[in-house]
Amino acid sequence: MSSQKKVKIRSVGKYVPDKVLTNDDLTEWLDTSDEWITSRTGIQQRHISTVESTADLCTKAAHEALKKAGVAAEAVGLVIVATMSPDAQSPSVACTVQANIGAAQAMAFDINAACSGFVYASSVAEKMLSASPYQYALVIGGEVMSKVVDWQDRSTAVLFGDGAGAMLLEKNSDTHSFIGEDIHADGSRGRSLVSGETALENPLTIKREMNPYLQMSGRDIFDFVIRSVPKNIRTVVEDNGLDLEDVDYFLLHQANARLIKAVSKKLKQPIEKFPQNIQYFGNTSAASIPILLDDLIERGDIQLGSKQTLVLTGFGGGLTWGSLLINL
């Protein structure tokens, strides 16, 4: 056993904006249909922010997690926000959240690993917390994807939603939640999903026109997920001495219900072990895993401290993908 201190998941919280856009709502300006969207993605509706920023959503999710744990914000030493839709390049979303919740002692920064962001941020937070003098870390996945999608592009506009999920990590506890991880990147395929590109702009150059919106090659991403994710899940489970049958739930990034079904089929694991809430929230990128985790805890399917075994798996732009093996 190394000198690493134990870190466990203490509480989880989520927040989504009130405004709901159904598939039928989208047909008012897009040539699409509820049947098309539902059958190909599983999405029936998504929550869209009308006034709240990414930091606002993250703040509310963080408040929720702190409240459930009964932990004061001053006790938090680290705030990491995973996002690909920050409010600004600077200040980071994490710094705004740190101020909003009053975590005056905390260091704070953002991580961008697109839809894998929550897995990346959790991996970093667990290690930093373990090696640090502080007791609590907040890991938040928060997105306002509605500001990065092109609302005239029916191939992407129908897919995304806004929301945030927060997880409070605690050190020096009886349980070590983070049993193993297997995390990857492949920048050589980065052009398969591009968002928020900015052009070179200075007195010495001619500014190029760039598409600032999210653009995605559906087949390339589908292909990437179907080849990389089942292998990744198998690795994180088997390298840590477990079988797929030992895992209670696989919490996959909620990108597409058909994709989740395909992964379940490849792994020969029943679809019931792959919980989904994509029908209500759409693809909320880095927020999808903590929102799902919170839903499952509220539903009673998952109990913190129960010793249940979970795999949390993110995949998306970068390209990035990765899994965490979690013992609750």
Partner 1 sequence: MSTFEKIQEIIVDQLDKEPEEVQPSTNFREELDADSLDLFQIINDIEDEFDIKIETEEGLNTVEDIVKYVDEQLA
CA angle (29 as vertex; 23, 22 as ends), nearest 5: 15
Q: Is 219 helix (H, G, I), strand (E, B) or coil?
A: helix
Residue by residue, DSSP assigns 18-64 as S-EEEHHHHTTTSS--HHHHHHHH---EEE--SS--HHHHHHHHHHH
Contact flags string 39-78 toward partner 1, x per CB under 8 A: xx--------------------------------------
Q: Which of 227, 246, 298, 299 binds partner 1 (CB under 8 A)?
A: 227
DSSP 8-state class, residue 5: P
**Of the two residues 215 and 327, which places its CB atom closer to partner 1 in the complex?**
215
Q: How near is the Cβ of 133 to partner 1 at its closest, in Å?
A: 49
Amino acid at 23: N
Interface stretch with partner 1, choices 20-28, 69-77, 106-114, 220-228 (CB under 8 A): 220-228
- Assess 194 for contact with partner 1 (CB under 8 A): no
Q: How far apart are CA 151 and CA 136, in angstroms?
A: 39
In the range 25-44, which residues lie near partner 1 by CB under 8 A? 39-40
Q: Which is nearer to partner 1, 42 or 77 (CB)?
A: 42
Q: Which of 20, 185, 242, 262 binds partner 1 (CB under 8 A)?
A: 262
How far apart CA 7 and CA 173 sit, in angstroms, is 7
Q: State yes or no: is 95 an active-site residue.
A: no
- Residue closer to partner 1, measured from CB, 109 or 222: 222
Among 249, 247, 257, smallest CA distance to 293 is for 249
Residue of 133, 201, 208, 219 interacting with partner 1 (CB under 8 A): 219
Q: How far is the CB of 193 from partner 1 (least distance, A)?
A: 16
Collect all residues with Cβ–Cβ distance below 8 Å to 85 and sequence separation of at least 6. 54, 143, 144, 145, 147, 148, 196, 285
153 neighbors 213 (Cβ within 8 angstroms): yes
Exactly one of 18, 186, 223, 246 binds partner 1 (CB under 8 A); that residue is: 223
The contact set with partner 1 (CB under 8 A) reads 39-40, 218-219, 222-223, 226-227, 256, 258, 262
Annotated active-site positions, please? 115, 253, 283
